[in-house]
Structure 1
């Protein structure tokens, strides 16, 4: 007997860390028995990607809160990115008559939106992780700290 995914359980799993969310997404898809359940899984995937984006965005705002010029431009860039993402999705799936894209449309839309959102999260993450020292094009990205064993005057054991 096949059991259907439990929405609350799956939502809780997807709200966890990104690695856990990916595993939960795969489990959800593995257990999906029909298109409605696949659509539900992809919707949760999109929501998880959006939550991760918002978490990283808020962390960047917090970490760089003292740099008003950067924060103002980052907020402007994020608003523009959101408009771009929505326009990109409509370019991929232009509005058509109902049913044009088939029963998998919602799943496809959500998976594409999640993919775009994960890419933006990776872009924002650079303001938290930093870039390598010596990157002359680092701009507002912080420089990664040098590990103690690589600092001048220190040698590895």
Structure 2
């Protein structure tokens, strides 16, 4: 019995040591969003650089990115209306950052298409990537 109590106490101590407070989880989610945003911006800059000679593409890409930011912000407010922030409690900042990270990662993947090499001949590639 003594050993069972010691094992229980040891396991409880390990669990408590690895537990995070809500504030820590909020900060971690925000940090993950910042990393995703940094990756998105790096991809965007690479696309701009690699397609710099195509002025029409660059103009359209910049316009699309501006519209995507508006969409992202509207999507965030649709999912988490600011008037209801208190309804989500202390987890609200974490939930906000998690969804923002998801949207940002999705956009990053969309932009990477213009950095991918495609075989010539697919007439539906449009401006995606670059031909080999």
Equivalent-residue separation in structure 1 for 2:47 and 2:19 (angstroms): 36
Q: Which residue number in structure 1 is paired with residue 124 of structure 2? A: 137
Quick one: which of 126, 134, 138 aligns to 2:113? 126
Aligned residues: 118
Q: Which residue number in structure 1 is paired with residue 90 of structure 2? A: 103
User: Is 2:33–2:98's contact at 8 Å kept on the other side of the alignment?
Assistant: yes
Q: Which residue number in structure 2 is paired with residue 74 of structure 1? A: 61
Q: Which residue number in structure 2 is paired with residue 25 of structure 1? A: none
Equivalent-residue separation in structure 1 for 2:46 and 2:80 (angstroms): 32
- CA deviation string 1:98-150 (max 9, x = no partner): 521121110010010010000000000010113344332111113453xxxxx
Question: Which stretches in structure 2 are left out of the alignment for 5+ residues?
Answer: 1-12
Moved more, 67-76 or 30-39: 30-39
- Bigger relative contact order, structure 1 or 2, given CA contacts below 8 A and separation 6+? 2
Q: TM-score, normalised by structure 2?
A: 0.81
Question: Which stretches in structure 1 are left out of the alignment for 5+ residues?
Answer: 3-29, 146-157
CA 143–87 in structure 1, closer or farther in 2 if over 3 Å, else same: same
The question of 1:50 aligning with 2:37 is answered yes
Equivalent-residue separation in structure 2 for 1:91 and 1:98 (angstroms): 12
User: Is 2:43–2:112's contact at 8 Å kept on the other side of the alignment?
Assistant: yes
Q: TM-score, normalised by structure 1?
A: 0.69
Equivalent-residue separation in structure 2 for 1:99 and 1:55 (angstroms): 34
Equivalent-residue separation in structure 1 for 2:62 and 2:19 (angstroms): 38
